[in-house]
A and B are shown apart, each in its own frame.
Chain A
């Protein structure tokens, strides 16, 4: 259970941060509204990732799941950051 927990905490946290950053670039709202939407959605996203990790067969499986999604999301982060 511990390997899944590490994946759920760290992987889930990174996924939620990365996805929220992308949403912040994409949402056509005022900056204060975007920040608040980010605040509201960040933790449910983290929990979503945790569910995904704990539903995995092993810690390695959980990290693979997180890693795949994280790579895609970080790709978009990089794109937005340098554009």
Chain B
């Protein structure tokens, strides 16, 4: 390959990689944790409510209980997300008519309902940690964050492809080569290359699917304008989407029995209940029922059907027998992205690969720092900035996430703004950490303290679990719900890992200082040097 071509690509690879590294770390760290968001959600909920055992209420009964004593806006929607093995609760979204003096513009309520007793356990967002982490993954929980993450993903895909070009000649020859006796920079580069090569199929898949999720709007607009002459609705129809807007007839009709009949037909045809049920104009003659799900036991077999509730007429139907390539393809991509097509073991592999990419990101930044430190003309300020940014945007995010877990556990249910307090704990911890990372010159010592502090926060979270909710946790375990214990085991493993890494860093530092001959001056110069220096 042309030397100039590779030189330009290497410059762009390191420049772009450095710019996106902070946000990309958040994407992969939060994405890896989000693989277990059902378990984290249950870890939040179960200590407050264990689902009752017995026969599950029908969808129409849940609908009735959900809209009872509420200003339900029947002209809008009533949506049910069915209970599953992962989340054994109904999630219900009820559109409401806002009072004239309402101080909010949120025109729906989201309810977590026990599928057996019909009891309203809480508002869905009262337990916001899992959703918060997931949203950080794809939109940073900020307006238009999805587009920012989309462009970060675009540059990530560029970094992957340019990395392939840069490393092409050694891609297979040095596939398993891991040099440990080389200099610091070569060790870091080897780590960067080995992880990059081994995770390549996974990272390519993640980058392309992530781009499709976050930036497809660009092509959607272009296609609608040029191919469909501005008719976006026609494009959506061809792409397998359906949008229902039935006209309100103002003729009351009780169609609860039809809802249960249609759901029973769905179960008979596809082997499991629909994942989502959405009623339009519920209680009126014009009411429709929209069911979305898939066929049991298949890798990808999307089902989407819409029925009129007064006469059962089919208004829209996509089934495995009448597939839409776009719908099927989109679900294949999301299934691959979320890794939910097999069991826990696959998600653990995804977790390891995701964490591998986090190491890839950090090692990339450290390679940049090492390279700059070896150059005579390098600016100490830019090296200090990159060191602070790398530490702040990685360890800071990890510590802030641990803090969010702790707050999710100790904040009382029913407290006003519980979700906001949990988010504030994350933002405040991260902000404070970024500031400290900028101010503290001894990055190695700060890393050591941060690892130990994070381990202590996680340990406190586990202790708080048992001190505050030991009876409920035992009840949940006896009822067969293992999510709380599973998350606790995950947190405990993280504690052990962090303490081990912290002391390994500490011992390595001590032996390096000893080898180089300790003196206060030498120690001070080490403190002012980069994160990687020893």
Binding site for B on A (CB under 8 A): 1, 4-5, 8-9, 13, 17, 20-21, 24, 30-33, 35-36, 38-40, 42-44, 46-47, 50-51, 54-57, 77, 81
| CB-CB contacts below 8 Å: B202-247 with A | 208, 211-212, 215-216, 218-219, 222-223, 226-227, 235, 238-240
Interface contact B325-A54, CB-CB below 8 Å: no
Q: Return the chain B residue nearest A62 by Cβ.
A: B8
Interface contact A38-B162, CB-CB below 8 Å: no
Q: Return the chain A residue nearest B164 by Cβ.
A: A51
List 22 contacting pairs A-B, 8 Å CB cutoff, sorted by A. Answer: A1-B15, A5-B16, A9-B151, A17-B218, A21-B222, A21-B227, A32-B325, A32-B327, A35-B223, A35-B325, A35-B326, A36-B325, A36-B329, A39-B326, A39-B330, A43-B211, A44-B208, A47-B154, A47-B157, A47-B158, A51-B162, A56-B8
Q: Return the chain B residue nearest A36 by Cβ.
A: B329
Interface contact B325-A51, CB-CB below 8 Å: no
Q: Please tell me which one of the listed residues B157, B162, B238 contacts residue A35 in the complex, with CB atoms under 8 A apart.
A: B238
CB distance from B350 to the nearest CB of A (A): 21
Indicate if B141 sits at the interface (CB-CB under 8 A): no
Q: Please tell me which one of the listed residues A31, A33, A39 contacts residue B219 in the complex, with CB atoms under 8 A apart.
A: A39
How far, in angstroms, from A24 to B162 measured CA to CA in the complex? 28
Interface contact B219-A42, CB-CB below 8 Å: yes
CB distance from B4 to the nearest CB of A (A): 8
Q: Please tell me which one of the listed residues B5, B219, B329 contacts residue A17 in the complex, with CB atoms under 8 A apart.
A: B219
Give the size of the chain B interface in residues (CB under 8 angstroms).
Answer: 36
A residues in contact with B11, CB < 8 Å: 1
B residues in contact with A5, CB < 8 Å: 16
Q: Return the chain A residue nearest B161 by Cβ.
A: A47
How far, in angstroms, from A80 to B240 measured CA to CA in the complex? 25
CB distance from A61 to the nearest CB of B (A): 10
Interface contact B12-A32, CB-CB below 8 Å: no
A residues in contact with B505, CB < 8 Å: none
Interface contact B326-A46, CB-CB below 8 Å: no
Interface contact A54-B219, CB-CB below 8 Å: no
| CB-CB contacts below 8 Å: B3-22 with A | 4-5, 8-9, 11-12, 15-16
Interface contact A81-B158, CB-CB below 8 Å: no
CB distance from A73 to the nearest CB of B (A): 12
How far, in angstroms, from A31 to B234 measured CA to CA in the complex? 11
How far, in angstroms, from A61 to B161 measured CA to CA in the complex? 21
B residues in contact with A81, CB < 8 Å: 226
Given the known interface contacts A17-B219, A36-B325, the answer about A55 and B212 at a Cβ–Cβ threshold of 8 Å is no
How far, in angstroms, from A31 to B212 measured CA to CA in the complex? 18
Q: Return the chain A residue nearest B15 by Cβ.
A: A1
A residues in contact with B161, CB < 8 Å: 47, 51
A residues in contact with B8, CB < 8 Å: 54-57
Indicate if B324 sits at the interface (CB-CB under 8 A): yes
**Interface hub of B208, B212, B216, B222 (most chain A Cβ within 10 A):** B222
Indicate if B469 sits at the interface (CB-CB under 8 A): no
Given the known interface contacts A24-B223, A40-B329, the answer about A50 and B212 at a Cβ–Cβ threshold of 8 Å is no
B residues in contact with A35, CB < 8 Å: 223, 235, 238-239, 325-326
Given the known interface contacts A13-B218, A51-B162, A54-B162, the answer about A32 and B326 at a Cβ–Cβ threshold of 8 Å is yes
How far, in angstroms, from A56 to B211 measured CA to CA in the complex? 25
Indicate if B165 sits at the interface (CB-CB under 8 A): yes
A residues in contact with B212, CB < 8 Å: 39-40, 43
Interface contact A54-B208, CB-CB below 8 Å: no
Interface contact A51-B238, CB-CB below 8 Å: no
CB distance from A81 to the nearest CB of B (A): 7
Interface contact B158-A51, CB-CB below 8 Å: yes
Given the known interface contacts A54-B162, A55-B5, the answer about A39 and B216 at a Cβ–Cβ threshold of 8 Å is yes
CB distance from B213 to the nearest CB of A (A): 11
A residues in contact with B154, CB < 8 Å: 9, 43, 46-47, 50
B residues in contact with A13, CB < 8 Å: 218
Interface contact B9-A55, CB-CB below 8 Å: yes
CB distance from B18 to the nearest CB of A (A): 11
**Interface hub of B216, B324, B327 (most chain A Cβ within 10 A):** B324
B residues in contact with A4, CB < 8 Å: 12
| CB-CB contacts below 8 Å: B289-345 with A | 324-327, 329-330
Interface contact A36-B326, CB-CB below 8 Å: yes
**Interface hub of B9, B158, B161, B239 (most chain A Cβ within 10 A):** B158
A residues in contact with B165, CB < 8 Å: 51
| CB-CB contacts below 8 Å: B420-471 with A | none
Interface contact A31-B238, CB-CB below 8 Å: yes
Q: Return the chain B residue nearest A56 by Cβ.
A: B8
How far, in angstroms, from A61 to B337 measured CA to CA in the complex? 37
| CB-CB contacts below 8 Å: B164-193 with A | 165
